[in-house]
Structures are given as C-alpha cells and as structure tokens.
Amino acid sequence: MADTALITGITGQDGSYLAELLVGLGYNVYGLVRGQNNPRLPVVAQLCPAVEFIEGDLLDQSSLIAALEICQPTEVYNLGAISFVSLSYKQAVLTGEVSGLGVTRMLEAIRTVNPRIRFFQASSSEMFGKVRERPQNELTGFHPRSPYGVAKVYAHYITANYRESYGIFACSGILFNHESPRRGLEFVTRKITSGAARIKLGLQPNLALGNLETERDWGFAGEYVDAMHRMLQQAEPRDFVVATGETHGLREFLQVAFSRVGLNWEDHVISDPRFLRPIDVDSLIGDASRARDELGWIPKTSFEDLVTMMVDADLTLQERLVSQVGR
C-alpha cells in the first residue's frame, strides 16, 4: 500500500516542494489548510494537483485529531508556523501558540490516533540566535533572539520529549535559511531579488532594507525537503542540522543579485528603520556533516546559483505581470 503523508504549512514555500517530492515518490499527499478561502490555496493546487486538502488548524486540537483520522497518514511533516521573525515580535503570543504549542497539539493528536505515525518537525537555525560556536551543529546550545526562535526551541524540545516519553518516531531537522523563487516576499532574499528585477524594469526606484550587517547560511529549499523525507526513512529517529556549511553577508547577496540585472546595488538600496528588529541574529553557519554521513544528503546548489535562479525567476514574473496589466 502506498505511504500517506500529511503536510502542515502546505501553502508555504517548503510545503509545495515537499508535496512535489512525495507525489513523485508515489505517496498519497494531504495538505492541512487553515481558514476559509485561503488565498494561497489555488497556487499550491496548481503546482501540485495531486495533493488533497484537508481543513485543520494548529490552534485547534480536535481539528488535528479529525485530520489524522480522515487521512490516516504514515508520516506527518509539520511545516506550519508563523515563520517571519519580524511578525513574531508583533504577535508574540500567537507565535508561541502556533509555532510552539501547535507542535504539542499535533504530537498529542498522533499519540491519540496512531502513535506509529512518523513525525517531522521543522526546527530552525534561529534557535542558535546569539551563537555559542561556529559552525553550529546538533550539540550546539540554543540562545534564541526572537519570539519566533523561542517558540521553535520549545517545539524542538517537545518533539524530543514525545520521542523519549512515548517512543514516537519524532525528529527535528534544524533547518538553516533556505530560499527559492517560492520564498515569501517578506523575507530578505526574495525582497532583494524581486526588488532588483523591478528596479531593472523601471517599476520601482529603490529598495528599502534594515540591518545589512548580517550573515546567513542560505541554501536552496528544493533540496532541504529531501533531507526532511530522508530523516523519516531512518531506522531510528534523530535530529539533523540541514545547512550548506557556507555563510554569506547580505551585501554579498545584494552584489550578486543586482549585478545579475546589470545594476550596482549601492545606487538603489536605502536604509529604513522600519525593517530593523529589536535585536537580530548576526551570523549563522551550519555543520551538516551528520546529515551527509547518515542521510547521504549533500546540498548541490551554490550560493551564486541560488541567487541567480531567484533573480531570473523574478524578472520573468515581473515581465509577465507588466505584459498582463501594464505599468
């Protein structure tokens, strides 16, 4: 019988890539969708027509139990969260409810409906925050720097706790920043690649950003979902760092993105305090050697290729929008 997966966060960047991967592997794939008339649903339905949607909300315990009873999954991938650090400062309680306690609700649903379901939790490099060592691995201590990071630490530990307490095959991928043309426009990478494309086409004069003194380990999201799947196929549940092992500054990202469209970023980027955070995570770099050695997972897309892929996709998108609606 084919495996069945339930994905929360199906309308997000990772949800669509993971759904495509699992459908290709022959899984029946269900996506948990929240709210009435979710505006992002048609996009995912078009990208992955084989996915069946099921209503439910990480805030609502009974809806999670009902969803598991209906789709009877063998695997649950929890990608649903309030994932934008800036928003987590403005809605700290909601972030804790969704990104933190939501995980407990899903684990409780699994324990109630079928404790043999394998569970993947999308943990985050934001848990390392004010980093204790470089690079960060599975043993590095946490020091989160935002309500988002704090909620993810809680979620990480509750996943380990249900594994240890109830023997559930539950594990976390500590995912470093991962990007793609499907990344939300609120995140800095996509904001830059979309901005560079629009400036090139004369659709906007400049790009307003916050803290430029930041470095991230940016990988390609399409490859990170493969690591998630591999984690659930192991003999024993274990947590893994998923990262490229390289770090790049925001200025370097700007340089590669703007030069792709023949522009100099310093002529167009302006500073706007609205995009500053109370405190920030300065620099992240992951050590994914456990994933390489035990999962056989190796990231292939280089930093330059990632930025170029995103700029090219945004140029194509903006050109299409211009031809459809005019300026």
Nearest distance from residue 209's CB to ligand GDP, in Å? 4
Least separation in angstroms between residue 86's CB and ligand GDP is: 6
Interaction of residue 143 with ligand GDP, rule CB under 6 A: no
* DSSP one-letter code for 176: P
Token representation of residue 320: 């299409």
DSSP E strands, the chain: 4-8, 28-33, 52-55, 75-78, 118-124, 170-175, 178-179, 207-209, 215-216, 219-220, 240-242, 248-249, 269-271
Check if 148 is active-site.
yes
- Of 214 and 255, the one with the shorter C-beta distance to ligand GDP is 214
3-state secondary structure of 206: coil
Radius of gyration of the chain (CA): 20
Residue 166 contacts ligand GDP per CB under 6 A = no
Closest distance of CB 235 from ligand GDP, Å: 32
214 touches ligand GDP (CB under 6 A): yes
Using CB under 6 A as the binding criterion, the count of chain residues that bind ligand GDP stands at 18
Which residue number, 145 or 229, has a Cβ lying nearer to ligand GDP?
145
Residue 267 DSSP one-character state? G
- Whole-angstrom CA distances from 255 to 8, 193, 300, 302 are 35, 11, 22, 15
Nearer to ligand GDP, 113 or 250 (CB): 250
Of 16 and 177, which CB lies nearer to ligand GDP in the complex structure? 177
The one among 81, 188, 309, 311 contacting ligand GDP by CB under 6 A: 188
Select from 209, 114, 195, 95 the least CA-distant residue to 154.
95
CB of 68 to ligand GDP, least distance (A): 29
| Phi-psi group of 167: left, alpha or beta (phi > 0 → left; psi -120 to 50 → alpha; rest → beta) | left
Q: Is 209 in the site for ligand GDP (CB under 6 A)?
A: yes
Binding site for ligand GDP (CB under 6 A): 85, 126, 177, 186-189, 191, 209-211, 214, 216, 250, 275, 277, 280-281
